[in-house]
């Protein structure tokens, strides 16, 4: 009886089936260049994870030493990725990816997989987080998260004050009744009398 597959072998099997599901979407209108980009992304995840898992199993893995980062002025800007970074972006394109999502969730619950991730959480975070983002799976808590980029404070622009114009009242016509002669003239504000219905005395 053959031994059960290792977590690395199960991970590779999930990616192999996922790549096959992507290729079959050609008949459903998915463009060839987009399929090639997705397949390359899956291949990079598979090779990176397999390389790290082999070193961990052989006992030759050593975490990288942290080096001080270059100042922002000397860093080279990364080219924008042609693929989406939205959480679960592959499922609308490949509906069959839901099956492999469930396989990945079961694998992440395996104690052997958890032990493998605990051996190199920083190195395995990049390929595994990329796959989790594709399949809409919450990454394990053991994987470190990238610090959020500080948001630039918005500059508050001073709003121009609107000049308040005095209320305009048309002048009282000369032939108006006597009870309208005491109304306010043009350009003045009218204040009602205490007793409603009675005009204010001049």
Give the pLDDT of residue 105. Answer: 94
**Tell me, what's the pLDDT at 43?**
94
Q: Which of 74-78, 142-146, 175-179, 196-200 is predicted with the least confidence, judged by mean pLDDT?
A: 196-200
- For residue 157, the model assigns a pLDDT of 77
- Specify the pLDDT at position 45: 94
Overall average pLDDT of the 29-37 stretch: 85
Across the range 151-165, mean pLDDT stands at 74
* Cα dihedral value 119, 124, 129, 130, nearest 10: -160
Q: What is the pLDDT of residue 104?
A: 94
The answer to whether residue 196 scores a pLDDT higher than 60 is no
Tell which wins on pLDDT, 173 or 184.
Answer: 173
Predicted pLDDT of residue 195: 46
Of 104, 130, 136, 113, which Cα lies nearest the Cα of 16?
104
Q: Are 25 and 35 in contact (CB under 8 A)?
A: yes
Find the distance separating the first CA and the last CA of the chain, reported in whole Å: 112
Q: Could you give the CA distance from residue 130 to residue 188 in angstroms, rounded to a whole number?
A: 70
Q: What is the average per-residue pLDDT within 143-157?
A: 71
What's the average model confidence in pLDDT over 77-90? 79
Share of the chain residues as helix, strand and coil, in percent rounded to the nearest 5: 45, 0, 55
CB distance 98 to 91 below 8 Å = yes
Quickly count helices (H) and strands (E) in the chain: 6, 0
pLDDT per residue as tens digits for the range 57-71: 888 888 776 555 556
- What is the pLDDT, as a whole number, of residue 202? 47
pTM: predicted TM-score of the whole model, two decimal places: 0.65
Burial 15-50 (b: 16+ CB within 10 A, else e): beebbebbeebeeeebeeeebeebeebbeebbebbb
Q: How confident is the prediction for the chain on average, in pLDDT?
A: 79
Inter-residue contact 90 to 38 (CB < 8 Å) = yes
Q: How many C-beta neighbours within 10 Å does residue 56 have?
A: 19
User: pLDDT grade, residue 26 (50/70/90)?
Assistant: confident
CA geometry: angle 120, 122, 126, nearest 5 deg: 110
């Amino acid at each position: 009886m053959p031994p059960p597959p290792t977590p690395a072998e199960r991970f590779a099997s999930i990616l192999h089936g996922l790549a096959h599901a992507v290729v079959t979407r050609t008949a459903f209108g998915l463009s060839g260049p987009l399929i090639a980009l997705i397949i390359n992304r899956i291949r990079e995840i598979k090779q990176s994870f397999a390389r790290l898992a082999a070193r961990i199993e052989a006992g030759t893995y050593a975490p990288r030493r942290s080096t001080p980062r270059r100042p922002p002025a000397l860093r080279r800007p990364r080219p924008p990725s042609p693929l989406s970074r939205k959480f679960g972006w592959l499922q609308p394109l490949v509906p069959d990816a839901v099956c492999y999502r469930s396989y990945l969730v079961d694998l992440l619950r395996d104690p052997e997989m958890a032990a493998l991730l605990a051996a190199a959480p920083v190195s395995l975070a990049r390929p595994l987080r990329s796959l989790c983002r594709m399949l809409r799976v919450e990454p394990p808590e053991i994987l470190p998260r990238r610090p959020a980029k500080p948001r630039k404070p918005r500059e508050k622009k001073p709003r121009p004050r609107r000049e308040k114009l005095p209320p305009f009242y048309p002048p009282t016509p000369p032939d108006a009744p006597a009870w309208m002669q005491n109304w306010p003239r043009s350009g003045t504000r009218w204040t009602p009398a205490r007793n409603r219905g009675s005009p204010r005395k001049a």
